[in-house]
Structure 1
């Protein structure tokens, strides 16, 4: 098939190159008509599930539910058009909304609060586009899985606790500027102000959601849970008995509005935008890759970065808050047969149609019912299975510490972006703590069946042996040099012959080589002999540059060879010569000589 190429300003542009950066073009070109029904059904299902989520998540962000619907429209359409995943649904998510609320807590209630919010959405998008353009696709690797488990668990607790006052029908003056802990203190000290009608409706919604999940995962529990209580509101006029309703939602598409820029505002929003941009990308890429394991679609992380960034930049001009890929809606989209990115685009279109024609009915939705949806959602964020796995790996392990510290910081700190930064920093520190331990195995050769040498691994040596194999592994860099030196120093007088096996060393730096030179000198001064085996060509160059070959003698260095164990066997034969196994009274051979002679060709020929 011919590739379409045209000239523009003297530059040859390929349609394939254009499609790479605007994936919707490739989808349009190769779309099959028989897939339209599948995409429409999937989009309708996502819409039914998404509408109550969009409204509820907006409350987490501290804004009117209508902004959640706006975000569910614009972000879904643009994210699907420019992202790389065919099934990913972009829009409001609980974690992003929680981070948004944290970043905006100082500004809510101010006259320019919403302008600041839309500016932050713009900044999040710009940062994500920059990550994609400079190909920082691996930036998400710095956010460990355990940090995310801890963050989502803490976020789940915060989301649930943050909705308790709405569930109880309490109105807290100035709550937008209060932390969750301050809200909880107020609730406990004013528990007598509970509106039992509100509590009953909220609990009804929660029970309906749980029952629907047990009956079928495909049932829109949240939608049913907020629809049924509406009949009770109308029948018993509960709105006149203190039950707060969502209020009027305008029947209009998201209006275009210029983002207000200023250097002061940009500086104030940057920290929160950075944290949201990172977590948003982690969510989107993780979800896309999880679904791609079944669809076998190749996921381009950098393109998804750009797609998410464009979605947020465009959304900022239509009164939307930051968005990301939603795991629940994306999973529903895939399960219900979505075949292309058109399902995501159509889901945004369907939400827009609902907003245009059914918005007047939304005013009857009780706020405690939306609170009930969020409390169930918050509980669902606590991944109990993953937490158990991390704890089983060790309560004081690096992963466990990073998870619990991040979880606690999310709950305690007022600014959640600091909790994210702290979790990432802690993961790196704990990783470096683990990597500064030199990976060493101590092996003693012993005789097995059929004259084979068996290498017995030991933890420590209590008495001197004839031959000790020290197997170095992994990356020997300056951070591990101190530990390497300490462990080698303790072995200086524990053997007559040391075989330093280096075939499993991936890299080594000059600091670690200097540590080995000190060990060689100490062994020689103690009257011992050191042999190096399994030396790869690149490692041999470094050893020669550092003059190690002259320190121990070129005859005591054995290169890594193709034959299995060839280098080790040669080193053992060298050890045989060093121990003078072929000389003198054979009746008084040491155990080491007996073992080596059983497999050594030199023992059979009488020469080395």
Structure 2
């Protein structure tokens, strides 16, 4: 039963579900449903799919996540960045508007879902940690600019294209002469209104007497007013006859059963994009889920989240959708509206199903310019250039990773941008650990503590070199330690003993072991003893499985102070047997 609860979290929270939780979940579901209807339509268009695909991708995936996910507030569905990635990936294998394009989107969702499920079952959620936050921030900032720029064509009412920022901007300038003025007015007014709703509506509501929670909820669903008003204007004034592009007919139906195409040729073309979408989607989702869970002291299981998101994407693949993940905006709205359990998501899915059957005729005259304005306002909140200043001040290597990710994403497209982000994250980690901080330490007078000789006034001994290694030792940095010790002992001709203080070393791999053996042999030939201190138990257990301890030209000390005390009193290299008798 415990194993079943691990894979089906619904069995855990479902046992304590009560009337109060039901009420809160229903209220949250109503608010999120109202918000999701125009948002789902907009993100589907961003992905290059029919608007109904956005609604379909928000029904079954949400239900499946409610069963398999661990977050009580995460709202799963189409999001801006994943929609852009979908358009980029699928656009390379099929033309927009064709059946092949829709099938490719289904296949992409299926591959992404399968990949996430495999990672979850194998408990590989930790792999997401290799994608650094600065790189993610850079990618999302660049993606936000690309998405906003890509939507300007709908606001101007022109046909423009481009895969990167330069191409998009040039294409927009080339087609500016085709601008539809009515569409432009609708798009600009809708954009201005949506920005005002974000910044000015809540203070206005508070001034006229609304409570903080009610004012916040009205602000969250305020964008629906732009949809209602612009749709009514187009319908009443027949503006579609004047060239205003509208959503048009949206099928009145529940999500259909669909079949992805897992042919070898298509899978080979979409495999890498699916992996990249999975990684980006999971990182975004887990970040939101953990942030919201922390506010209520709840726990998120990253491995089970992989399974929950995997199930959601598989659901999207077989019900007319495309890749989905946990969205920041809708999840925050869900949380603020009082959602207690994933059942709120299930109720949202029911609300969207009702909308898909009964309300879709109401969006027939919805201008695409309004949907574009919705996307622009949403994604510009993701753009954060302050990360450049922060990383420049704090870490130049992180700054280099951020600016490189931004430039590659803007200049070469989102796929290369996200791929470069993954590679940069790994390379950044390898670079930082390849040159571990190694401090020469001395004894703080009157204590048994040792500190960096460059930072503190400490006692040292000319014949004793004490080095504190502040990183685990593995193949990337093993040679660095060899060279550092070799250079240091050559500088100090009076050195008779070297002590490696290993209090921060959690792992020594085989490559590092071979380097330690080389250091030991070299120092022995030079008449210098090599000693270790404060070695952690698991590390010592591994070392004992080799011949290194037996061959060590010195001793393993329990503490650095004991090493200092003994080796300053007996300054010449001693064998392990002699040291044990001291």
* Same fold (TM > 0.5): yes
1:520 corresponds to 2:506: no
Alignment CA distance shift 1:83-1:489 (3 Å): same
Secondary structure of residue in 2 paired with 1:112: helix
Q: Do residues 269 (structure 1) and 270 (structure 2) align?
A: yes
Contact persistence 2:499–2:530 (CA under 8 A): yes
1:568 and 2:564 equivalent? Answer: yes
Which residue of structure 2 lines up, in the alignment, with residue 7 of structure 1? none
SS in 2 for 1:476: coil
Name the structure 2 match of 1:382: 383
Secondary structure of the corresponding residue to residue 58 of structure 2: helix
Q: Residue 470 and residue 322 in structure 1: after superposition, are their counterparts in 2 closer, same or farther (change >3 A)?
A: closer
2:16 to 27, 30, 36: 30
1:70 is the counterpart of 2:68: no
Shift of the 84–451 alpha-carbon distance from structure 1 to 2, 3 Å rule, reads closer
Between 112-121 and 214-223, report the one with greater CA deviation: 214-223
Distance of aligned partners of 1:135 and 1:531 in 2 relative to their CA distance in 1, 3 Å threshold: closer
Q: Structure 1 unaligned segments of length 5 or more: list them.
A: 1-13, 579-607
Q: Cα offset for 1:442? A: 1.8
Any residues of structure 2 matched to 1:275-290 within 5 Å, and which? 275-290=276-291
TM-score, structure 1 normalization:
0.82
Alpha-carbon distance change, 385 to 178 in structure 1, aligned in 2, over 3 angstroms: closer
* Partner in structure 2 of residue 477 of structure 1: 474
Report what 1:400 is aligned to. 399
Pair 1:84-2:87 in alignment: no
**Does 1 or 2 have the higher relative contact order (CA < 8 Å, sep 6+)?**
2
Question: Residue 172 of structure 2 aligns with which residue?
Answer: 187
CA distance in 2, matches of 1:516, 1:163: 61
Q: Report the number of matched residues.
A: 545
Question: Could you report, residue by residue, the CA deviation over 1:77-126 in whole angstroms, capped at 9, with x for unpaired residues?
Answer: 22222212221111101111111001111212444221222122222222
Q: 1:479 to 1:357 in 2, by over 3 A?
A: closer
Equivalent residue, structure 2, for 1:439? 437
Q: For 1:418 and 1:473, locate their aligned partners in 2 and report how far apart those are by CA, in whole Å.
A: 35
3-state SS of the aligned residue for 2:467?
strand
Q: Is the 8 A contact 2:530 2:555 kept in 1?
A: no
Which residue of the partner structure matches residue 121 of structure 2? 133
Q: What is the rounded CA distance, in whole Å, between the counterparts of 2:100 and 2:507 in structure 1?
A: 55
From 472, 486, 489, the equivalent of 1:489 is: 486
Q: Distance in 1 between matches of 2:68 and 2:231?
A: 38
SS of residue in 2 equivalent to 1:333: helix
Query: Superposition pairs for residues 118-129 of structure 1, below 5 Å?
Result: 118-129=106-117
Cα displacement string for residues 400-455 of structure 1 (whole angstroms, at most 9, x for unaligned residues): 222222222222224x3343222212221222122122432123557x4x699985
Taking a change above 3 Å as real, the CA distance of residues 487 and 20 of structure 1, as seen in their structure-2 partners, is closer
Conserved 8 A contact 1:88-1:325: yes
Paired residues of 2:34 and 2:224 also in contact (CA < 8 A):
yes
Q: Which residue of 2 aligns with 1:420?
A: 418
Query: Which structure 2 residue ranges, 5 or more long, are not aligned?
Result: 203-215, 456-460, 574-581
- Alignment of 1:108 with 2:95, yes or no, is yes
CA RMSD in angstroms comes to: 2.9
Query: Do structure 1's residue 56 and structure 2's residue 42 form an aligned pair?
Result: yes
With normalisation by structure 2, the TM-score equals: 0.85
Rate the CA distance shift 1:411–1:445 in 2: closer, same or farther, 3 A: same
Which of the two has higher C-alpha Rg? 1
> Per the alignment, do residues 547 and 405 of structure 1 end up closer, same or farther by CA in structure 2, a change over 3 Å counting?
closer
In structure 2, the partner of 1:167 is 155
CA deviations 1:514-555 (Å, max 9, x no partner) are 34225524642xxx6766544566549848955677674xxx
User: Aligned partners of 1:266, 1:334: CA distance in 2, in Å?
Assistant: 37
Structure-2 residue corresponding to 1:158 = 146
CA contact (8 A) 1:80 1:88 kept: no
Asked if the contact 1:154–1:411 (Cα under 8 Å) also holds between the matched residues in 2, the reply is yes
Check conservation: 2:247, 2:364, Cα contact below 8 A: yes
- Out of 192, 195, 201, the position equivalent to 2:186 is 201
Q: Does 1:149 align with 2:145?
A: no
From the two aligned structures, give the one with the greater strand fraction: 1
Tell me: CA distance 1:536–1:519, structure 2 relative to 1, closer, same or farther (3 Å).
Answer: farther
Distance 1:42 1:386, change over 3 A: farther
The alignment partner of 2:476 has SS state of: helix
The change in CA–CA distance for 1:550 and 1:21 in structure 2 (over 3 A counts) is closer
* Cα deviations by residue, 1:482-525 (Å, 9 ceiling, x for unpaired): 3223222222242444441424243443222134225524642x
